Amino acid sequence: MQYIILIFILLASMLFYSSHIFSQVKDIVARPNDTTNKEAANAAISKALSRTEIQNLLRNLAKSPVPPINKEPGAMCYKVAAPADRIEYVCPIDGSKTLYTDVAAYTIDRDLRSVRCIIKGLNNPSITLDESEFCRKCHPKMEHPRLALVIKYSDDKKPLRIEGIYTQDAETIRELLSGSLIHQGNYDEQTPLKDYIKRLEDIFDVKAE
Ligand SMILES: [Zn+2]
């Protein structure tokens, strides 16, 4: 009798897990259609960009319906630590060190690392990060250093320089170029990428309309 009960429990749990896994797989398969606009992006993520291309991406984003989003914050993906109040910045160009003990230390600790990582991950020939304002040798008189992006459009000779770039900017750039319609926040909470069109227009110096 005990064996029969045991086999029954085993069978029931196998059935439960297989349906659970199946529903998860279905979820993953269904997701891309809801949250991406791949045809528009056409893998713009790592090829040279033109103003026309960015305008098309922004225009498509403006026209797309808001996808179903998860507004609830998920499990925290980042360790919550007190921001660093003292940090030594090492310039990747000349190797010189600059010590920061003010708000810039926080930017270096939080934004510089993530923006570097995201921009490097894009591997896009048109977008480069300029962090030289943080180096006292490169910029001796800089009082309030900021992160900057340099964008070189294939149909524009003069490179564009945008100062004051933060993690969220880098994330929304990546999302726009990969055809996503959703912005994924630091705590996994989602917002429509549409909400960031104005900021993206400013960054790329391109109007959606
Ligand atoms: Zn330097």
Q: What is the pLDDT of residues 17-70, one digit of tens each?
A: 554 444 444 443 334 444 556 655 656 777 899 999 999 999 999 999 988 887
| Beta-carbon count within 10 A of 87 CB | 19
Distance, in Å, from the CA atom of 111 to the CA atom of 191, rounded to the nearest integer, reads 20
User: In angstroms, what is the span from residue 135 Cα to ligand 1's centroid?
Assistant: 5
User: In angstroms, what is the span from residue 97 Cα to ligand 1's centroid?
Assistant: 8
Q: Is pLDDT of 191 > 90?
A: yes
User: In angstroms, what is the span from residue 158 Cα to ligand 1's centroid?
Assistant: 23
Q: What is the mean pLDDT of residues 129-144?
A: 94
pTM for the structure as a whole:
0.76
User: In angstroms, what is the span from residue 131 Cα to ligand 1's centroid?
Assistant: 9
- Asked if 114 and 169 count as a contact pair (C-beta separation under 8 A), the reply is no
User: In angstroms, what is the span from residue 99 Cα to ligand 1's centroid?
Assistant: 13
Distance, in Å, from the CA atom of 108 to the CA atom of 6, rounded to the nearest integer, reads 58
User: In angstroms, what is the span from residue 100 Cα to ligand 1's centroid?
Assistant: 14
User: In angstroms, what is the span from residue 149 Cα to ligand 1's centroid?
Assistant: 16
User: In angstroms, what is the span from residue 136 Cα to ligand 1's centroid?
Assistant: 7
pLDDT at 37: 61
Distance, in Å, from the CA atom of 24 to the CA atom of 29, rounded to the nearest integer, reads 9
pLDDT tens, position by position, 163-179 = 999 999 999 999 999 99
185 vs 146 pLDDT, higher one: 146
User: In angstroms, what is the span from residue 134 Cα to ligand 1's centroid?
Assistant: 8
User: In angstroms, what is the span from residue 172 Cα to ligand 1's centroid?
Assistant: 28
